[in-house]
């Protein structure tokens, strides 16, 4: 918060808090669909629309980058089918587990600034989360869990009540608490579990682990999770329209799409314990309460800006060091990625899926990177992202020549200088 000194006749000067300066206009608010109505891309657009019709995807958005230059961005279908509002580049979507990439970048940022280490223990008297609330753990092996184990899904957590992130009613009953649950409640729940395996060995994909990482970010930075991400990760990169999601339809953010599930989907109890039935994508799931595991909304354009800051492409400076990026993207199968879902010598992938949402980021060895987000889910759940990968990769080859341009230059200048951390 800025401070202005105001003259005072009796006591000299007093400090007056000034409102923060306005943020730059987000890049996805500057770019329009019409900017990518380019000769030679008609077959690509037709392929996207055909793919969306086949999988009954109501609306989607795509962005393409080559060597850290944004060359194509366009919305397809409808952001809201009720009033036939067409998708534009400005629309933001829930990104589900793509959120884990954002969280992992924040953890590495804290490590680079000396506030954290990937080898730090998480629980116990000497752990990061040494608050008395979390010290009455059930399994003593929990004291062996490190930050790295959480990042790589090797913490050993079991799932006796299913995926805790999507079974919060059962978790609340186990804890004897009322809905909705807080971040602290979810971390407390983790301490009450028996581990499935010793930390560092068995791989078990864990949304709970990334909710714990969200708490670690708060504890290590001294700043609320969302605020740290926005101020110390996203703003320095030049992303100003990425936010934690809300849950109910009447709480959707500006330019956020509506969400659509499969025709057979049935209502479920509301996430906050209210005596009402709603669709999972419209208040049944506590999307906001997923935090760093799956709680963010974004546009493909700004997600590509994030990718450009962590992809080691020599054309532009990276936000993270090569050491941090290498840690996140180990080339061997013996070590799992951090934040990313799959790493090979040919591609990096990060997918996300939940009711009403499917998302995919892909970084290719040929210098192209792209993001596709949709406001619809399908009967095959996470399998839809695999279909996205196959169909969009094939469609890209139907364009003989992409334009030589960089739409990123339309945004206000930013810097990825690590010295900008506010914590």
CATH code for the domain in which residue 386 is found: 3.40.710.10
Q: Which residues of the chain have pLDDT under 70?
A: 1-18, 20, 413-423
**228 within some domain:** no
**100 within some domain:** no
pLDDT of amino acid 11: 46
pLDDT per position as a tens digit, 305-314: 999 999 989 8
**218 within some domain:** no
Burial of 132 (0-12, 13-18, 19+ CB in 10 A): exposed
Helix (H, G, I), strand (E, B) or coil at 409: helix
pLDDT of amino acid 17: 64
Cis peptide before 180 (omega within 30 of 0): yes
**280 within some domain:** no
pLDDT per position as a tens digit, 91-123: 999 999 999 999 999 999 999 999 999 999 999
Instruction: Give the residue numbers spanning the domain of 312.
Output: 27-95+241-263+297-418
**333 within some domain:** yes
**72 within some domain:** yes
pLDDT of amino acid 413: 63
pLDDT of amino acid 44: 97
- How many Å apart are CA 246 and CA 287, to the nearest integer? 7
pLDDT of amino acid 381: 81
**326 within some domain:** yes
**137 within some domain:** no
CA distances, 129 to each of 126, 174, 213 (Å):
8, 21, 10
Question: 81: how many CB neighbours lie within 10 A of its CB?
Answer: 14
What is the number of domains present in the chain? 1
């Amino acid at each position: 918060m800025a401070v202005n000194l105001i003259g005072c006749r009796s006591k000299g000067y007093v400090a007056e808090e000034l409102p923060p300066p306005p943020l730059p206009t987000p890049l996805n608010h500057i770019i329009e669909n019409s900017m990518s109505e380019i000769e030679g891309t008609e077959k690509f657009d037709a392929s996207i629309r055909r793919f969306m019709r086949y999988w009954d995807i109501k609306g989607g958005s795509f962005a393409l980058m080559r060597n850290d230059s944004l060359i194509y961005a366009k919305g397809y279908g409808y952001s809201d089918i009720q009033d036939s509002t067409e998708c534009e580049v400005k629309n933001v979507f829930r990104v589900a587990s793509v959120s884990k990439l954002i969280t992992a970048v924040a953890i590495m940022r804290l490590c680079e600034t000396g506030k954290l280490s990937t080898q730090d223990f998480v629980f116990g008297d000497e752990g990061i989360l040494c608050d008395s609330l979390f010290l009455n753990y059930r399994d003593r092996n929990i004291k062996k869990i490190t930050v790295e184990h959480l990042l790589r899904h090797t913490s050993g957590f079991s799932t006796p009540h299913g995926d805790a992130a999507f079974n919060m009613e059962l978790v609340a009953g186990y804890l004897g608490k009322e809905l909705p649950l807080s971040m602290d409640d979810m971390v407390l729940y983790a301490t009450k579990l028996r581990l499935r395996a010793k930390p560092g060995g068995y791989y078990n994909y864990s949304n709970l682990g990334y909710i714990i990482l969200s708490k670690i970010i708060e504890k290590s930075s001294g700043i609320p999770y969302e605020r740290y991400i926005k101020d110390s990760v996203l703003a320095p990169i030049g992303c100003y329209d990425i936010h934690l999601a809300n849950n109910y339809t009447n709480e959707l953010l500006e330019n956020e799409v509506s969400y659509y599930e499969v025709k057979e989907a049935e209502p479920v109890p509301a996430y906050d314990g209210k005596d009402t039935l709603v669709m999972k994508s419209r208040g049944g799931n506590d999307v906001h309460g997923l935090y760093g595991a799956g709680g963010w909304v974004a546009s493909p354009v700004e997600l590509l800006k994030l990718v450009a800051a962590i992809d080691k492409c020599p054309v532009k400076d990276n936000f993270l060091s090569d050491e941090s990026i290498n840690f996140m993207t180990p080339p061997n199968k013996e070590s799992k990625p951090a934040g990313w879902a799959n790493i090979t010598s040919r591609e990096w992938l990060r997918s996300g899926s939940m009711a009403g949402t499917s998302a995919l980021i892909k970084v290719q060895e040929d210098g192209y990177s792209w993001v596709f987000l949709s406001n619809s889910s399908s009967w095959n759940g996470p399998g839809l992202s695999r279909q996205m990968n196959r169909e969009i990769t094939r469609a890209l080859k139907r364009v003989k020549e992409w334009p030589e341009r960089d739409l990123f230059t339309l945004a206000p200048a930013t810097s990825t200088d690590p010295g900008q951390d506010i914590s």
